[in-house]
Structure formats: C-alpha cells, structure tokens
Structure 1
Amino acid sequence: MHTPVVYIHGFIGHLRFPELSTGLPHGYVHAPDLLGYGPFADAAPSRMSIAHQADHLAQWIDRELGGKPPVLVAHSAGAAVAITYARKYPHRIAALVSAEGNLAPSDAFLSSRLAPMTVQGVSEWLEGARRDPGSLLTSDGYRLTGNALDRLSELLNHQNAQTIHAAARAVLMETLRPGYSADVMMVMAHVPTFLIYGERTPQGMGVPPRLRDMAEGEFIIEGTGHAMVIERPEAVADAVAKVLARVQ
C-alpha cells in the first residue's frame, strides 16, 4: 500500500495540475481545495483562519483517505496550514514537504502586500492580474511565460477577491503570531521535513539556518523560482517521489 501524497495550495489557486503527479503512484496523489476555494467557495471569511483550514484538511483526510497519514506537500502559504495540521495531529502525517512554504514571517511576501488592502483593493488587483497575468512578476522578478503563464491564469480564476483577502490576512496573522516559529521547530523535530526551493530563489528564502539544519533533505528545482509548482511541476513531482522513497 502506497503512502498518499496531499498537495496543499497557497492562498491563490489549486494544485491539481496533472504534471504534479508525474512518476507518483497512480490514485495516491490528491490536491483538495481549502475553505474559500472550489466547492468550498461559500465559506465565510471568518472560517478561513489557519486553524480552521487545518481542521478542514483533517476532515478531508479522514473522509477521503480513511485517516491514513499522508505526505503533505505544501506550497507557499499552504505551509502554514500544514504546520498547524502537523502540530494538532502529529500521528496523522507521514512527512512534510515545504515547497518554499511560509516557515518564517519574511516568506509571506505577497500576503504582506495584499493583507493590508481592503477587499475592494484586492478586487482591483485581481481584475488587473486576470486581464494581464503576464505583467505579474514572481518574487524573484521573473515574468512567467508559456505553460506556466497559462497555469497562472487558471489559478487567478479559481477564487474571488474576498477569499484572497481573507486568506492573505490569515497567513500573515499566523506567521507573525508569537509562537509560530516555535511551532515550526516542534513540528520539524518530530515530523520528517524536506525543503524544496527554486533555483532563482535566494537560498533559504528567509528560513532561519537552524530550521534548514533540522530538515531531512533539500531539493533545488532548476530554472524556477517561487512559482516552481507551475513553472516545472513535473520536477516538483520528481522531488516528492524521492521523498516518498525515503519515508515509505
């Protein structure tokens, strides 16, 4: 029996691109929507706290996986959800993979920009991004093109401005919370944790050296930055396959 893989998306979009399953056991790769996204789009902003999202994830894992501990692969803001899940349910996770996840406040670069805005301000930002996604710069100043740009367009259309606003605020509040760094260290001390970075991203992306020292391993995705899950999703899947080989 294979260990299931569960991708956790950030506060924009989803992670259901087929390339993210490349080389992974068929039928064991999942990418559920968090509250505010997809079939859960009607969730009230008050339900989009990181704690609520972690409980929502736990309920999904119980329902869809029969509670079998998965490898959680969390991209960007999704790492805050994964850390909270792992802290609350330490025996219901096989390993954690942080794909440039928000393990430190300095990682939440887009959240810190959008969270202070009004919902109307985020709506205007989103409308502009949808009209011209090619104008958006990644955190490393890179413009996406080709398939990555098509995937970005899909992500921008997956939720409304109210969800982005509420989720950005939730991520920023959680990562700035006193005790968040201690929670990250506690999880990494008890759960096998692996780190994935894009080649263009400054090494560590704000993650303190002590956390990098605690990781079981690191993977660099060549030719990518923070948006590696849409730039080279098949390479991310290859890194996840290597993690699976080590923890199964």
Structure 2
Amino acid sequence: MKKAAPLVMIHGLMGSLNFYAPHERIRAVAVHTPDLIGYGRLKDTREPVITLASQVAHVVRYLDEQVGEPCVLLGHSVGGAIAMLAAQAAPERVRGVINVEGNFTLADAFWCRKIAALSDEAWHAEHARLVADPEKWLANGGIALTPQRVEWAREALANQPPETIRAMARAVVKETGDSAYLARVRSVVECGTPLFLLAGERSASGWDVPDWVRAVARDYVIQKDVGHMMMLEQPDDFCGIVEEMVVRLGRASQLHSFIA
C-alpha cells in the first residue's frame, strides 16, 4: 500500500506557517513548512529580484532536495499562486494542490496592490505601525483578540523585513496580472492534478475563483466562523480539514494504482 504523500505548506505574504505548529496538529503525514526567499530563516538570502518565478524555482528545489517524492502542495494566499505555478513547473513532484484562498486574479491582490503603490517612505512607516500593533492588525481582520492570537500575529508580522513584503506585493501584482498566469494555472488542472479549494466563511465571498477552477476542483470547503487567517483563528479545525483532504488524495491515488 502506498503511504500518504508528504504535505508541503507554502506561506503567504506574511510568513511563516510554523507559528501554529501544524506538524504537531497533522499526524497522518509528514509536514514541511519551508520559508520562501526573504522570509524567516532565509530573510538574509541575497536575491537580486524577488519574483513569483524565483520563489517557484526555490520551492521546486526544496521539493527535490528536502522532500524527494511526490507531495501535496498547500498554498495560502500568495502562497496559493506559488503552489499552482510550482505544480505546473514540476508536475512529477506534485500529487495534488490545496489552494487556501490563493491568488487567481488581481481582485485577490487588494492588499498587494495597496502596498505596491506606496512610496518607500510611506510603506516603511506603514510596516512599522503594523509590527508595533498586532492587536490592530487582528481587529482589522475581524479576529477576536486572545493572548495566543496576538503572540502569533506578532510573530508573523516580524517574520520578514519590509523590503521582502514590498517585493512580493509588486511581484504578485505584475505576474498574476499577466494573461499567461491563468493559462499556466489552467494547464495544471487540465493535466489532471487534483485540486482542493479551502476558504474562510467570512472571506470566501471576496475570493475571486474562476468558474472553471470551481468546476474542476475535487472539493471546495468553507471553514466556519473564520476569515482569511483561518489557521490563526482556529488552527485545529484548519489542520483537521487539511489532513482530511490529504488523506482523501492518498485514497484516490491508491485506488487509481489498483485499477491501473
């Protein structure tokens, strides 16, 4: 019997996904939470220009060097775009994709467009305010304050320098706004890569998922009573949903192998 594929979780504009310890909450599979270039342990990595393409290449290298077998790729927010592009770049390394409110169109890049349009001085001032006041950041997202959530928010906000966030915001606006982006996403689902969609109940209505993506998705799950940062609000529920999706992918893969 095939073992379940490893789960590789790609964080969004504010990394990482380590803060709520998903590897302790998801027991059925091995969990990886790599940092993207410019984030966390890689915040000092010298990259001439941070782009979605350079982040995709970084993720593919990670899959080759650290995972070494086909995996399930999960991407949250900006990480959803990177996960889809990584699946297109290295289909032999990806058994399925879980897209968690990932960017499909520029309508999903509201915050990125705002950041990209600011002057350097204005953005650094805004970033300093964000880092200094995680409570306000949570409240603006409709998230009830608890000591644990505030600590996690503080960790996420301080995980990367303002230059990294600015570069990623500009990359998202430029690259997801290109017509070639959706064509690459379409090629992933048209080649048969299983796709799951996951959204928060409060934020689902603002997620601009094309009809053809919904049509091919294996499932579209809405996590109740949470918004875009669902893993910060209700990490156990989030990890339970994700684990169930990975297990379903594993069962489908075993059935396919048996029939073949």
TM-score, length basis structure 2: 0.88
Match of 1:16 in 2: 18
> In the TM superposition, what are the counterparts of 1:76-95 in structure 2 within 5 Å?
76-95=77-96
Q: For the Cα contact (< 8 Å) 1:6–1:29, is it kept in 2? A: yes
Letter in 1 for 2:106: P
Match of 1:194 in 2: 196
Match of 2:110 in 1: 109
1:123–1:204: structure 2 CA closer, same or farther, 3 Å change rule?
A: closer
Partners of 2:123 and 2:46 lie apart in 1 by 17
Quote how far apart the aligned CAs of 1:149 are: 2.7
Contiguous gaps of at least 5 residues in structure 1: none
Does 1:225 pair with 2:221? no
Question: Structure 1 residue aligned with 2:205, among 203, 206, 223?
Answer: 203
Partners of 1:206 and 1:148 lie apart in 2 by 27
Partners of 2:76 and 2:205 lie apart in 1 by 16
Quote how far apart the aligned CAs of 1:246 are: 1.5
Partners of 1:122 and 1:54 lie apart in 2 by 25
Q: For the Cα contact (< 8 Å) 1:11–1:164, is it kept in 2? A: yes
Quote how far apart the aligned CAs of 1:18 are: 4.2
Letter in 2 for 1:145: L
1:132–1:138: structure 2 CA closer, same or farther, 3 Å change rule?
A: closer
1:200–1:212: structure 2 CA closer, same or farther, 3 Å change rule?
A: same
Deviations 1:163-207 (A, max 9, x none): 111011111111101221222222122210000010112436111
1:138–1:97: structure 2 CA closer, same or farther, 3 Å change rule?
A: farther
Quote how far apart the aligned CAs of 1:148 are: 2.6
Match of 1:25 in 2: 28
Partners of 2:161 and 2:119 lie apart in 1 by 13
Letter in 2 for 1:62: D
Match of 2:65 in 1: 63
Partners of 2:206 and 2:71 lie apart in 1 by 25
Quote how far apart the aligned CAs of 1:121 are: 2.2
Match of 2:44 in 1: 42
Partners of 2:139 and 2:113 lie apart in 1 by 15
Q: For the Cα contact (< 8 Å) 1:45–1:162, is it kept in 2? A: no
Partners of 2:120 and 2:31 lie apart in 1 by 34
Quote how far apart the aligned CAs of 1:138 are: 7.2
Q: Which has the larger radius of gyration?
A: 2
Identity %: 32
Q: How many correspondences in the alignment?
A: 245
Match of 1:170 in 2: 171
Partners of 1:205 and 1:43 lie apart in 2 by 32
Letter in 2 for 1:13: G
Q: For the Cα contact (< 8 Å) 1:41–1:159, is it kept in 2? A: yes
Tell me the secondary structure at the aligned position of residue 174 of structure 2.
Answer: helix
Letter in 1 for 2:246: L
Q: For the Cα contact (< 8 Å) 2:20–2:232, is it kept in 1? A: no
Q: For the Cα contact (< 8 Å) 2:143–2:233, is it kept in 1? A: no
Q: For the Cα contact (< 8 Å) 1:50–1:174, is it kept in 2? A: yes
Quote how far apart the aligned CAs of 1:247 are: 1.3
Q: For the Cα contact (< 8 Å) 2:204–2:222, is it kept in 1? A: no
Task: State which drifts further: 12-21 or 157-166.
Answer: 12-21
Deviations 1:84-137 (A, max 9, x none): 111111111011001111122211121111112233322211110111122226
1:81–1:14: structure 2 CA closer, same or farther, 3 Å change rule?
A: same
Partners of 1:164 and 1:23 lie apart in 2 by 28
Match of 2:101 in 1: 100
Partners of 2:139 and 2:83 lie apart in 1 by 23
Indicate the RMSD between aligned Cα atoms, in angstroms.
1.8
Task: State which drifts further: 141-150 or 188-197.
Answer: 141-150
